Structure 1
Amino acid sequence: MSDTGILIIVHGSSNPQWVREVDEAVKGVKGDLPLEVGHLEFSKHETLEHGIRKLEGKGVKVILAVPLFVSSASTHISEIKYVLGLISAPGVETDLRPVSSSARFVWVDPMDAHPLILEIIIERIFSLSEGPEEEVLLLAAHGSDEPDFHQKWEKLLEEIKHLISLRIPFHDIIHGTLLPDNLRQKAEQVSNSGRTVIVVPLFLSEGYFTNKVIPEKLKGLSYKWNGKTYLPHPLITSWINEKIKNGISSERQKRVVDKDPITFETWFL
């Protein structure tokens, strides 16, 4: 039996559609390794600790932690690493506490500007764009008020904008965030330019922010919007599979160096 398991970590939501879309993405994950989903919030029975305990019950000694999050700049990422014992302090206030476990955690990074994620963003853009040379693209992101996390968000958004500009010749590409709350201000700056404004949300799945918060903030302005998020999209499952494959490969190499037993069975082989 393999001693390695997978913990897919999600924020969670009270919106059933959000949960269904995440579950559908996880169903397509390849391989025979034990896999559990842990919710950071909104679930009493599928918390991070529940997922960890289920994997431990299956004899797992190494847990590959895969955060299904848009950005490494999210404060939740810091909280998750704290819960898993990967960092000594979360960097933000949290009610969460570290989970003691006999398993060793192996971390992989969130989505950020991964090529597969960029393909989803490009697809969402093309579902709205008709003539990019005369259009302004506004990327709407969550962001953060915390200085360190804010800088990381800004760096990521600048990277995504640059990568998009290499593919699509927009007149301009800008971004706005909910934290700090500057999305409407950014939209107002271009809404009277005479050019079509396209707004694309950088969020995992449709929910409270895309269905209510962003439309309310942009109320009364002229822009194109369909609210399509990263999910549902098959490339999210592809991203999970790639992250797991790379994580397993790195772990295998580490075990070779450390001369530990390798018991990955047929995962991706």
Structure 2
Amino acid sequence: MVLLACRICCEYETESHSHDLHGCGLVDRGKGARQRGTGMTNRLRTQVLLALSFALLFPGIVEAQGILLLAHGGRGEWNAEVLQVASNVDSDHPVEVAFGMANKRTIERAVARLVERGVNEIVAVPLFISSHSSVMRATEFLLGHRDDAPPQMEAFGRMAAGMMAAGSGSAGSGSDGGFDWTTPIEKPLPISLATALDDHALVAEILLSRASDVSERPGEEVLVLVAHGPGSDEDNRLWLENMRSLVERMRPQTRFSRIEYLTVRDDASEEIQDQATTELRAVVEAGVREGKSVLIVPLLLSYGGIEVGIRERLEGLSYRMANQALLPDKRLSEWVLMQVDER
């Protein structure tokens, strides 16, 4: 509201006495101009009041803030759950979804749709488990929040081109043949970037809900949080730090015997994957030896394949797995709104 009033004020280069209204810098042009300035001041005051009244009545029109919801994308059911989050939030802010792993084309198209809907600024919200990944760094680069392209940018570009070609039924990249997938997008509006889910309190709440759904006697159960995890060791360390923070949020609210956490690192080398599998099985086996029931709660956005790999790693062991991942859950819609409100 104040910004709109300022713009109106600044349209007038008044010739009355010097003062500054919200930084507009109105300049003194001398005594003779002051008489003419009286009428202009009255008109200015009227327009400011009208602008403020309009802003109060129609705040969404005056300062429309749009949300660019970023998600990896998956099968139809996986995507539908993300689209439901967008639908839940859309009544508060215009939302458009860009599926893909740092897919420049889908991001640009989602931004264009937000512009068509009349927004004047955009908050990009990554519906990712962690902010610490090559996908996140590539997304930061595409949105102009990182100066240097990550080493994986070329690979993400090829992946995006292939995805778009497959979607269009084209054998090649079709109409995108000359498109540069590896340079930042052209931003018609300011785009800020939020963080991913990381160690947010709402994530901890949802994980506790998933554990409670399959829990029978918490004091005799070991809860194990299992995340997909990244390829690099440094990113994995940061993932585990966030998971430790989630566990610390959860502990005061539960009576589980203990809570363990680890990543399976499907995108790492075969040696690292094997090591992660050995570690996961050892945690489950230790719980069983203690006479405890083991609950596996995957830290995933949605079920769609990774949980199958976790089951394969645990073949032959005794455990119970949560019935669903973070989605569907209306608390994630709340999280999106909280991310926007913080910016």
TM class by shorter chain equals 0.7 to 0.9
Q: Report the 3-state secondary structure (helix = DSSP H, G, I; strand = E; otherwise coil) of the residue aligned with 1:229.
A: coil
| RMSD of Structure 2 on Structure 1 (CA) | 2.3
Q: Which residue among 297, 300, 304 is the counterpart of 1:200? A: 297
User: CA offset at residue 60 of structure 1?
Assistant: 3.9
1:74 aligned residue: 133
Contact 2:223 2:260 in 1 (8 A): yes
Cα distance change, pair 38–11 in 1 and its aligned pair in 2 (3 A): same
Task: Determine whether 1:65 maps to 2:124.
Answer: yes
Q: Look up the match of 2:12.
A: none
Relative distance call for 1:201 and 1:134 in structure 2 (3 A) is same
Which residue, out of 106, 110, 128, partners 2:196?
Answer: 110
User: Does 1:219 find its partner at 2:315?
Assistant: yes
Shift of 1:122: 0.7
AA matched with 1:143: G
Question: Residue 47 of structure 1 aligns to a residue in which SS?
Answer: helix
> Cα offset for 1:184?
4.5
Moved over 6 A (4+): none
Q: CA deviation at 1:130?
A: 1.7
Deviation string, structure 1 residues 188-223 (Cα, Å, up to 9, x no partner)? 34324232111000001110112x211111111111
Cα gap change, 1:86/1:134 in structure 2, threshold over 3 Å: closer, same or farther? same
Does the Cα contact within 8 Å between 2:277 and 2:313 map onto a contact in 1?
Answer: yes
Name the counterpart of 1:54: 113
Normalised to the residue count of structure 1, the TM-score between the two structures is 0.82
Query: Residue in 2 aligned with 1:165?
Result: 251
Of residues 123, 134, 148 in structure 2, which corresponds to 1:89? 148
Q: 2:102–2:142: 8 Å Cα contact kept in structure 1?
A: no
Q: SS at 1:64's partner residue?
A: strand
Structure 2: how far apart are the matches of 1:90 and 1:223? 42
- Please name the residue that 1:262 is paired with: none
Deviation at 1:245, TM superposition (A): 2.5
Q: Which has the higher contact order (CA 8 A, sep 6+)?
A: 1
Q: Which amino acid aligns with 1:213?
A: G
Point out the structure with the larger helix share.
Answer: 2
How far did 1:171 drift?
Answer: 2.1
Instruction: Give the match's secondary structure for 2:301.
Output: coil
Counterpart of 1:209 in structure 2 is 306
Q: Could you list the per-position Cα deviations for residues 137-161 of structure 1 after superposition, in whole angstroms to 9, with x for gaps in the alignment? A: 1111011221321121111111112
Partner of 2:336: 240
Equivalent positions of 1:134-173 (< 5 A) are: 134-173=220-259
Alignment partner, residue 133 of structure 1: 219
Contact 2:221–2:293 (8 Å) recurs in 1: yes
Query: Structure 2 regions of 5+ residues with no counterpart?
Result: 1-60, 158-181, 266-271
In terms of mean alpha carbon deviation, does 154-163 or 186-195 score higher? 186-195
Aligned match of 1:229 in 311, 322, 325?
A: 325
In the TM superposition, residue 40 of structure 1 has moved relative to its aligned partner by 1.8
- 1-structure distance, mates of 2:278, 2:320: 14
2: CA distance, partners of 1:32 / 1:220? 48
Identity %: 29
1:196 and 1:33 mapped to 2: Cα distance? 44
Of residues 87, 99, 106, the one that matches 1:27 is 87
- Which of 69, 72, 89 does residue 11 from structure 1 map onto? 72
Task: Tell me which moved more, 69-78 or 195-204.
Answer: 69-78
Contact 1:12–1:42 (CA<8 Å) still a contact in 2? no
Give the aligned residue type for 1:208. Answer: G
Q: CA separation of 1:42/1:20 partners in 2, compared to 1, >3 Å: closer, same or farther?
A: farther
Q: Does 1:190 align with 2:284?
A: yes
Give per-residue Cα distances to partners, 1:117-175, cap 9 Å, x unaligned: 21111100101122222211111101122132112111111111222222223222212
Deviates more, 1:113-122 or 1:55-64: 55-64
Equivalence for 2:166? none
Report if the CA contact (8 A) 2:204-2:247 is conserved.
no
Question: 1 or 2, which has the higher strand percentage?
Answer: 1
| Alignment-mate amino acid for residue 142 of structure 1 | H
